[in-house]
A and B are shown apart, each in its own frame.
Chain A
Amino acid sequence: MTPATATPETLDCRGQRCPLPVIALAERLPELPVGAVLRVLADDPAAANDVPAWCRMRGQEYLGSPEPDAYDVRRSR
């Protein structure tokens, strides 16, 4: 593993039930510049499914889950 050049901006949605983490992601990501990465922390099991699904529906880039309960999304448009 190469160390990340910068810690991505983090959105802590732990303790929130779906769809709240996805709503928080949808609110926060447009505030970041295109190309920026947002790390969503969510422990609702549905997030593993719904964060990538949201990215697909919104044309944003899902980068994967670097660790349990964490999901990285890059603003691509």
Chain B
Amino acid sequence: MTSLLVPAYFDAASAAPLHPVARDALVAALADGWADPARLYTQARRARQLLDAARAAVAETLDVRPDEVSFTGSGTAAAHAAVLGGLAGRRRVGAAFVHSAIEHSAVLHSAERHEAAGGAAHSVGVDHLGRLDLAGWRAVVAEPGVALAALITASHEVGTVQPVAEAAKACRAAGVPLYVDAAQSVGRVPVPGGWSLLTASAHKWGGPPGVGVLIVRKGTRWLSPYPTDEREAGAPGVPNLPSIVAAAAGLRAAAAEAETEAARLAPLVDRIRATVAATVPDVEVVGDPVDRLPHLVTFSCLYVDGEALLHALDRRGFAVSSGSSCTSSTLRPSHVLEAMGVLSHGNIRVSLHRDSTAEQVDRFLGELPEIVAALRAEAGVVGL
């Protein structure tokens, strides 16, 4: 007899389930916020009020001014706008873009676009725990002609928190604006100050998909990479108001719970790190063991096919993601695992959220050793 299998969704780092507060706000805003907020009649004024309130809520949570906040169509679109707009705004200073080797692909693809257009991009490496090479960062941002530097606040793949305050200090000393991709931090952990541009993504904090946030601090030279548009600074077109309202409500709720949730999830992540290392042979638990996000943990199982492991876990009701090459559309291993020089095959990322329970984690930890052993037996690699 197998007991009733309760699915465990462990991929909050891709998309967290909608926060109940965001769900309620979404339903209300669908009824109330469908009009174009740029128009001048009653319905439009109501929509404008909702948009302004959402902007004010996001600004308050992130401790910025409302007029520094733009809503975009996704976290990826926000990252594109931050990088390309930040570089365009400082074109006269130079054409060099500095970024860490472990940025989100949205930032790396923007860097590729910048290089294709004649600009330069410099990648700064990380150590085997995924921590930024600060000495290398300080040296390269101080070089002449650096228009913008980008640092992810914490790795979306391995959870290592980056030295944002120190990196910002180096940027300030060099007069270079810093862009931080805070997608995995906003709504979960405090983000250090000192940056000029910040982006985040609503579906990472329990808001709906399809809403990104771009913050451009006052005094930052930033030029929209899009053709002129009368609406949101960082995003052309009519904003998705119901989703924005839901995103803002979800952020406020997530931020209010963040400390409690971090205190609840961090021990579960620690339990996964310790138990996996102890009960699964030949496993590499990656990322900084201490200076890390409270909800995300990554490990690699030697000789195991990442895709096979992902599917085996899915059959047992565990939804996780993987940085292994066989699970990516390009068949390349995760650039983050590559930059860290850690094992990339058999890789699993577990990321928890407010609905994740200790029971789910314990069931996962109870079943994982057997699942990995079965895959290894099937592949004939036992004892290697």
What is A's interface to B at a CB cutoff of 8 Å? 17-19, 22-23, 26-27, 44-46, 48-50, 52-54, 57
Instruction: Contact check, A18 vs B341: say whether CB atoms are below 8 A apart.
Output: no
Residues of chain B with a CB closer than 8 A to A52's CB: 341
Decide if B311 is an interface residue (CB 8 Å cutoff): no
Instruction: Contact check, A46 vs B333: say whether CB atoms are below 8 A apart.
Output: yes
Decide if B351 is an interface residue (CB 8 Å cutoff): no
- Nearest-neighbour CB distance to chain B for A58, whole angstroms, equals 9
Decide if B346 is an interface residue (CB 8 Å cutoff): yes
If the complex has contacts A46-B344, A49-B344, A53-B344, are A18 and B326 also in contact, measured as CB distance less than 8 A? yes
Instruction: Contact check, A23 vs B381: say whether CB atoms are below 8 A apart.
Output: yes
- Nearest-neighbour CB distance to chain A for B356, whole angstroms, equals 29
What is B's interface to A at a CB cutoff of 8 Å? 282, 284, 302-305, 324-326, 331-333, 337-338, 341-346, 379, 381, 384
Instruction: Contact check, A49 vs B305: say whether CB atoms are below 8 A apart.
Output: no
Instruction: Contact check, A57 vs B325: say whether CB atoms are below 8 A apart.
Output: no
Most buried by A among B304, B326, B341, B344: B344
- Nearest-neighbour CB distance to chain B for A65, whole angstroms, equals 13
If the complex has contacts A49-B337, A49-B341, A53-B344, are A18 and B302 also in contact, measured as CB distance less than 8 A? no
Instruction: Contact check, B337 vs A27: say whether CB atoms are below 8 A apart.
Output: no
Instruction: Contact check, A45 vs B284: say whether CB atoms are below 8 A apart.
Output: no
- Nearest-neighbour CB distance to chain A for B277, whole angstroms, equals 12
> Which of chain A's residues has its CB closest to B302's CB?
A57
Instruction: Contact check, B343 vs A23: say whether CB atoms are below 8 A apart.
Output: no
Most buried by A among B303, B326, B384: B384
- Nearest-neighbour CB distance to chain B for A26, whole angstroms, equals 4
Instruction: Contact check, B344 vs A50: say whether CB atoms are below 8 A apart.
Output: yes
If the complex has contacts A26-B381, A57-B282, are A49 and B333 also in contact, measured as CB distance less than 8 A? yes
If the complex has contacts A18-B345, A52-B341, A53-B341, are A45 and B303 also in contact, measured as CB distance less than 8 A? no
> Which of chain B's residues has its CB closest to A19's CB?
B345
Query: Would you mind naming 30 contact pairs between A and B with Cβ atoms under 8 Å apart?
Result: A17-B325, A18-B325, A18-B326, A18-B333, A18-B344, A19-B304, A22-B302, A22-B303, A22-B345, A23-B303, A23-B379, A26-B381, A27-B384, A45-B325, A46-B332, A46-B344, A49-B343, A50-B333, A50-B343, A50-B344, A50-B345, A52-B341, A53-B341, A53-B342, A53-B343, A53-B344, A54-B302, A54-B343, A57-B282, A57-B302
